[in-house]
Amino acid sequence: MTKNLPYLQVALDHSTLPEAIKAASLVGHDVDIIEAGTVCLLQVGSELVEILRKLYPNKIIVADTKCADAGGTVAHNNAIRGADWMTCICSATIPTMQAALKSIKNIREDRGEIQVELYGDWTYEQAQQWLDIGISQAIYHQSRDALLAGESWGTKDLERVKKLVEMGFRVSVTGGLNVETLKLFEGIDVFAFIAGRGITEAENPRQSAIEFKQEIKRIWG
């Protein structure tokens, strides 16, 4: 993929396989990246990844495992089913992340990448260690539960995203995004916007994905 505008990634966090597949088939051609969401992976396992790969042979498919341990095995299991990228939680150890990276690259070669999911406490020193072992994607997350508890995207989040970009990360952002929230990130070199409910629970998911893309083009084009 050549990098021009921030990418649009849809997260499939459904509780059943048929719902996730239906949502994927509605918007798969209109987004750049398709995520097998944590909620659905926990319910149905990496069969979801395999189906998405068959439906969309040329798209980047992400397994949002938020892997905390056994990185090599979890990455292997998802990569053989077709995941290009897999997430590790930021509190995972460096050996876990290294093992995950090695496994995913063994199978997906240059396409294979690990993304670090930033939740709770983490430091820029840790972030530098992730870069040092060859992980250059981070996902800045507003957790669903934090948003439900009244948190919102604010200056401190934007400053952290900017700092990670300056360090050399490709930074995706996620958590309760909708078309209106994209403008908060104007001026920041966001790698991908990851939207779940903002697309999949819209009255017309395909139209919502198209509107996300139009807004990305309006702001970053």
Q: Does 115 bind ligand 5RP (CB under 6 A)?
A: no
Residue 4 backbone dihedrals phi, psi, to 5 degrees: -120, -75
Residue 197's binding partner among Mg ion, ligand 5RP, none (Cβ under 5 to 8 angstroms by kind) is: ligand 5RP
Whole-angstrom distance, CA of residue 166 vs CA of residue 216: 21
Closer to Mg ion by Cβ: residue 64 or 157: 64
Binding mask 11-40 for ligand 5RP (x = CB under 6 A): x-x-----------------------xx--
**Residue among 11, 101, 173, 192 that touches Mg ion (CB under 5 A):** 11
Instruction: Please give the size of the binding site for Mg ion, defined by CB under 5 A.
Output: 3
Beta strand pairing call for 60-67 and 137-141: unpaired
Rounded to 10 deg, the angle between the 124-132 and 94-108 helix axes is 40
Q: What are the counts of helices (DSSP H) followed by strands (DSSP E) for the chain? A: 10, 8
Closer to ligand 5RP by Cβ: residue 67 or 194: 194
In 63-179, which residue ranges form alpha helices assigned H by DSSP?
A: 71-79, 94-108, 124-132, 144-148, 155-167
Least Å from the CB of residue 12 to ligand 5RP: 8
Cβ-in-10-Å burial (0-12, 13-18, 19+) of 12 comes to buried
Segment near ligand 5RP (CB under 6 A), from 54-62, 68-76, 99-107, 196-204? 196-204
Site for Mg ion in 19-48 (CB under 5 A): 37
Beta strand pairing call for 33-36 and 7-12: parallel
Residue 195's binding partner among Mg ion, ligand 5RP, none (Cβ under 5 to 8 angstroms by kind) is: ligand 5RP
Q: Does 195 bind ligand 5RP (CB under 6 A)?
A: yes
User: Contact positions toward ligand 5RP, by CB under 6 A?
Assistant: 11, 13, 37-38, 64, 144, 174-177, 194-198
